[in-house]
Amino acid sequence: MAGTLVAYFTYSGNAKKVAERVAELAGADLFEIQTAAPYSTDYQTCIEEARKEIAEHARPALTAKVEDIGKYDRLILGFPNWCSTCPMPILSFLEAYDLTGMRIDSFVTNGGGGCGNSAEDIRKSSKGAEVSESINGNDLTDERIKEWLGL
């Protein structure tokens, strides 16, 4: 039987907190997406790094891969809104695998910027997967998470 993987990228820790709760409620495995070269801890510098990566369509190197992505039929992604889309490490992660036939849901933590173009960018990087619209990950209650995931 295939399972669910919650994979997340976090900068400030917000996406991690939500991802941990989603994984717990869904009975899913949890995987942190981490870059080989860390982003600046200075927020303004990090924004400039993110803008540069987006402009260059960069795919930052990651520290690890999921050993057997084939054992999952559902992927739940969590990440902060970076310049109206997902962070480029999310796209690095997606493009490392054949996700054909997988369902991908995502939540976006943000400071008021919403989900931006994240779902569309996820679709472009995960050919053959069924990608739902991203949802706002701020203040997700257990009830809302269960409703969203159909639990």
pLDDT of residue 132: 92
Task: Write the DSSP symbol of residue 98.
Answer: -
Q: E strands along the chain, which residues?
A: 3-8, 29-32, 72-80, 103-109, 130-131, 135-136
Q: What is the rounded average pLDDT of the residues 49-77?
A: 95
State the chain's mean pLDDT as an integer: 93
Q: What is the pTM of this model?
A: 0.94
**3-149 is classed CATH 2.30.110.10:** no
Q: Does position 116 have pLDDT exceeding 90, yes or no?
A: no
pLDDT of residue 16: 96
Domain ranges of the chain: 3-149
Q: Does position 1 have pLDDT exceeding 60, yes or no?
A: no
Q: Does position 32 have pLDDT exceeding 80, yes or no?
A: yes
List C-alpha distances in Å: 98 to 5, 51, 112, 136.
15, 27, 33, 26
Q: Does position 84 have pLDDT exceeding 90, yes or no?
A: no
